[in-house]
Amino acid sequence: MNDRYTTMGGQGEFPATSWSMVVKLQTDEDRARGLEQLCARYWKPIYCYVRRALRKTNEDAKDLTQSFFIWLLDAQVLERYDAEQATFRLYLKGLLRNFARNHEQSLRRLKRGGGVKHVTFPDEEVNGLEALLADPRAESPEDAFDRAWVEDLIDTGLERTRAWLRDNGHELRLKVYEAYELAGPGEQPTYTSVAERLGIKVSDVRNHLFAARERLRAEIRDQLRETVSSTDQLEAEWQVVFG
């Protein structure tokens, strides 16, 4: 795959428009679109942070997540973000720490009807976060945030990879990837078993898996580039995901 900004040791000038989501949040004409992207990408990590840091119920955590997004706009803290100083993930966690100190006031304001709600919380997706919150590796609020952020990056990357493979005529490659990497509980597929199931050579399984994994990595890198401003920051975020 031709990716001159690969995090695996590649060189190249970092694209100036990489942190497009952040730029939208800082410009009046694109703020609504940027906020939509922000909510979609970060509501899960923020929700997990609130649940872990403030020991709130599911419903209160949802309300506080809404309150946080309203506070981001009202306090105009996004305008002060300097992408060269920190990744957006780190900046957002710092804002969450500040928000948590005065969360009760924000919660009361939202429950009185102050502010437009920006996030919907699908029950299936919220329920899926319970296992993450119960994981001892997500014991601290920041760990819970990061684990939810990583899982969402990978899930979104996988959705985009599936779409790209289908749209570009690589259905067999997708079947190989799903058969090997996304096997159900208790299944332990091998290259041989996948080859036999799909009627292809073992070497084909190996080649298809390599190509699909590279595509997934590229899709994750593309997401990361939207919230960093340099190759060094991209490398650091990549280590958070796969380090």
Q: How many CB atoms lie within 10 A of CB 37?
A: 16
Structure-token pair, residue 206: 């190996």
Q: How many CB atoms lie within 10 A of CB 28?
A: 6
Nearest to 45 by CA among 135, 137, 133, 136: 133
Percentage of the chain lying above the pLDDT 70 cut: 82
In Å, how far are 161, 197, 200, 218 from 191, measured between CA atoms? Answer: 21, 10, 10, 23
Q: Where are the domains of the chain?
A: 20-242
Q: What is the pTM of this model?
A: 0.81
Q: Which residue has the tokens 């958070």?
A: 240
User: Tens of pLDDT along 79-133?
Assistant: 788 878 888 899 999 999 988 887 766 666 666 555 556 778 888 888 888 888 8
Task: Note every long-range contact of 172-179, with CB atoms under 8 Å and residues 24 or more positions apart, other chains counting.
Answer: 172/198, 172/200, 172/208, 173/208, 173/211, 173/212, 174/212, 176/200, 176/204, 176/205, 176/208, 176/209, 176/212, 177/208, 177/209, 177/212, 177/213
User: Tens of pLDDT along 132-170?
Assistant: 888 787 788 999 999 999 999 999 999 999 999 999 999
